[in-house]
Amino acid sequence: MKCTSSFSGKCDKYKSPYEISVGDVVSMKDDTGYVTEHLVITNYIKGETDAKGFTPKSNFTIIIAPDGKKTVITDYRELNLILDIDEY
């Protein structure tokens, strides 16, 4: 699951939040339609407790842009997979 460029329009979509891995390179469109690339830094699954004891009430993913801006994504379907860290 990957594509060579976020601009080719042929990137794979995630089918489930369970497919998202920390370290994946993803792309998404912003409000203006501009495609940007990001790195997944955290992925929380509803009802699963992390090492620090946090249990989210909904799924969400935290991504970081090359300029350091962090964004919280609540709908994993907004993300296109560019590089799956598990296949790297």
pLDDT in tens, 31-87: 888 889 999 999 999 999 999 999 999 999 999 999 999 999 999 999 999 988 887
Domain borders along the chain are 12-87
Which residue matches tokens 């009430």? 57
Over 90: is that where the pLDDT of 6 sits?
Answer: no
- Cβ atoms of 84 and 14 closer than 8 Å: no
Which residue matches tokens 């407790």? 49
What is the CATH T-level fold of the domain 12-87, as seen in this structure? Answer: SH3 type barrels. (2.30.30)
- pLDDT at residue 3, as a whole number: 57
Reported in sequence order, the residue ranges of 1-88 that DSSP labels E, i.e. its strands, are 12-13, 25-29, 35-44, 60-64, 70-73, 80-83
Over 50: is that where the pLDDT of 17 sits?
Answer: yes
